[in-house]
């Protein structure tokens, strides 16, 4: 082949450019510490990098969820533990008060002491953490319990706050106050699974004299009806609704019974034609038990104190213990998850680093190699370009 000076210089320039672009790429990799700077650097690995980053982000979120859950449950457990302590003290006082040799004044003193304990119990039940009340169900902004005169009112609801601890797995970490401390009077309907709310369009019923209108455009299911009652500002201070899936349950916020009327309630099996409630439960719970004790102490009902009251108190303590064991079980589950997540996170981060980060030693070696080649190419170019026949004429 005929070789001209231009071929030599062009070729040398090309080679120098190629080597320099390799040096540039290696330096870019080295100074950023990342091998994948753009999707086109390695599309397959890029996809993995992005996917791993998302997995790590999700895992971090779940770890944070789980840790918040553990903190929350620890607070619940502390509160319940202090309630147990107080109830133990009340139990000792009840035994003392059941002693037949005591005078009415003595019992009044004990009653006053227990009353102070009741206030303490209510205070504990009203504990809040970061602006959220522990025991008001999902009405977390509302102080759950109040006691005025001797009427105890529960302002929360029966729902539990939940936490997503991994993909599509939730854990209830709330313990509504009506399950733990005090539940008011309750009325429930019959099975309502087959009720068609279109048939009740425009009809209404009353709860404690307050009218609830059924509009089938917005009420299509039992849970819509529950929400309607719960979100009604007129009813809010007196009653709340819940459902076990089949039945509508209305709970009074206090121990006093509800007055219900209306054709729909009758059709759903909540009241009879005379307006009497068919299925009802009296108020119950720790606060009720302690309040009964105070009443019986003041009324000198010694036999009731040592019998029924003590029995109820032991039952309340057992119930509390059962709740605490649930709290413990859920805390354990969250702790297991946390440990697992930590392990996952370490593995994912290792994988990400394998995919994304450079092997510094290797890249430095490469850079040196490229630089050496560049130097040699420069030297060769300097020699090749210079001589022509002109130099020898």
Kindly list the residues in this chain that would bind another protein in the complex (CB under 8 A): 1-7, 10-11, 14, 36, 38-44, 46-47, 49-51, 53-54, 57-58, 61, 64-65, 68, 130-132, 136-141, 157, 159, 161-164, 167-168, 170, 174, 223, 226-227, 230-233, 356, 388-390, 393
Nearer to another protein, 168 or 194 (CB): 168
Both tokens assigned to 20:
């320099």
Q: Are 37 and 29 in contact (CB under 8 A)?
A: yes
Both tokens assigned to 168:
């599509």
Distance CA(288)–CA(383), nearest Å, equals 104
Least gap, CB of 45 to another protein (angstroms): 9
Distance CA(218)–CA(195), nearest Å, equals 15
Least gap, CB of 142 to another protein (angstroms): 8
Least gap, CB of 132 to another protein (angstroms): 6
Nearer to another protein, 1 or 361 (CB): 1
Least gap, CB of 196 to another protein (angstroms): 21
Least gap, CB of 227 to another protein (angstroms): 6
Nearer to another protein, 41 or 342 (CB): 41
Least gap, CB of 170 to another protein (angstroms): 7
Least gap, CB of 141 to another protein (angstroms): 5
The position carrying tokens 């455009």 is: 217
C-beta neighbour count of 214 within 10 angstroms: 20
Least gap, CB of 43 to another protein (angstroms): 3
Q: Are 188 and 249 in contact (CB under 8 A)?
A: yes
Nearer to another protein, 137 or 285 (CB): 137
Distance CA(326)–CA(333), nearest Å, equals 11
Nearer to another protein, 43 or 275 (CB): 43
Least gap, CB of 106 to another protein (angstroms): 44
User: C-alpha angle with apex 251: 125 to 286, nearest 5 degrees?
Assistant: 35
Distance CA(238)–CA(250), nearest Å, equals 10
Helix ranges (DSSP H) in 33-125: 43-97, 104-125
Q: Are 304 and 104 in contact (CB under 8 A)?
A: no
Least gap, CB of 200 to another protein (angstroms): 20
Nearer to another protein, 103 or 231 (CB): 231
Which backbone phi and psi does 350 adopt, to 5 degrees? -65, -45
User: Mind giving me the DSSP string for 187-201?
Assistant: EE----TT--GGGGT
Nearer to another protein, 288 or 330 (CB): 330
C-beta neighbour count of 34 within 10 angstroms: 15
Nearer to another protein, 213 or 325 (CB): 213
DSSP label at residue 90? H
Q: Are 226 and 243 in contact (CB under 8 A)?
A: yes
Nearer to another protein, 159 or 216 (CB): 159
Distance CA(247)–CA(187), nearest Å, equals 10
Q: What share of the chain is helix, strand, coil (3-state, %, to 5)?
A: 60, 15, 30
Both tokens assigned to 351:
């994988």
C-beta neighbour count of 88 within 10 angstroms: 12
Residue 248 CA, chain-centre distance (Å), reads 26
- Which SS3 state, helix, strand or coil, does residue 214 take? coil
Nearer to another protein, 42 or 113 (CB): 42
């Amino acid at each position: 082949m005929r070789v001209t000076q231009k071929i030599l210089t062009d070729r040398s320039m090309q080679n120098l450019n190629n080597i320099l672009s390799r040096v540039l790429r290696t330096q870019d990799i080295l100074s950023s510490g990342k091998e994948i700077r753009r999707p086109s650097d390695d599309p397959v690995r890029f996809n993995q990098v992005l996917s791993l980053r998302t997995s790590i982000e999700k895992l971090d979120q779940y770890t944070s969820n789980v840790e918040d859950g553990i903190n929350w449950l620890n607070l619940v457990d502390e509160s319940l533990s202090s309630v147990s302590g107080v109830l133990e003290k009340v139990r000792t006082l009840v035994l003392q008060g059941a002693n037949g040799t005591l005078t009415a004044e003595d019992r009044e003193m004990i009653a006053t002491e227990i009353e102070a304990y009741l206030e303490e119990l209510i205070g504990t039940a009203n504990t809040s953490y970061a602006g959220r009340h522990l025991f008001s169900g999902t009405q977390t902004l509302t102080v759950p319990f109040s006691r005025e005169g001797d009427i105890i009112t529960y302002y929360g609801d029966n729902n539990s706050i939940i936490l997503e601890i991994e993909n599509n797995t939730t854990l209830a970490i709330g313990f509504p106050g009506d399950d733990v401390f005090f539940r008011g009077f309750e009325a429930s309907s019959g099975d309502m699974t087959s009720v068609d709310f279109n048939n009740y369009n425009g009809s209404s019923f009353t709860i404690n004299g307050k009218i609830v209108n059924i509009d089938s455009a917005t009420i299509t299911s039992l849970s819509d009806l529950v929400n309607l009652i719960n979100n009604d500002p007129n009813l809010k201070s007196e009653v709340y609704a819940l459902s076990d899936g089949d039945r509508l349950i209305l709970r009074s916020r206090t121990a006093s019974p509800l007055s219900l009327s209306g054709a729909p309630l009758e059709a759903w099996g909540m009241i009879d034609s005379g307006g009497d409630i068919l299925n009802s439960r009296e108020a119950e719970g720790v606060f009720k038990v302690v309040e009964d004790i105070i009443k019986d102490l003041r009324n000198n009902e010694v036999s009731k104190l040592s019998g029924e009251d003590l029995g109820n108190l032991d039952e309340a303590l057992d119930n509390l213990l059962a709740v605490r064991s649930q709290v413990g079980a859920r805390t354990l589950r969250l702790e297991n998850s946390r440990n697992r997540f930590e392990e996952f996170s370490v593995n994912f981060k290792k994988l990400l680093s394998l995919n994304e980060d450079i092997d510094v030693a290797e890249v430095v070696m490469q850079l040196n190699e490229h630089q050496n080649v560049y130097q040699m190419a420069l030297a060769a170019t300097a020699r090749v370009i210079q001589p022509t026949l002109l130099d020898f004429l």
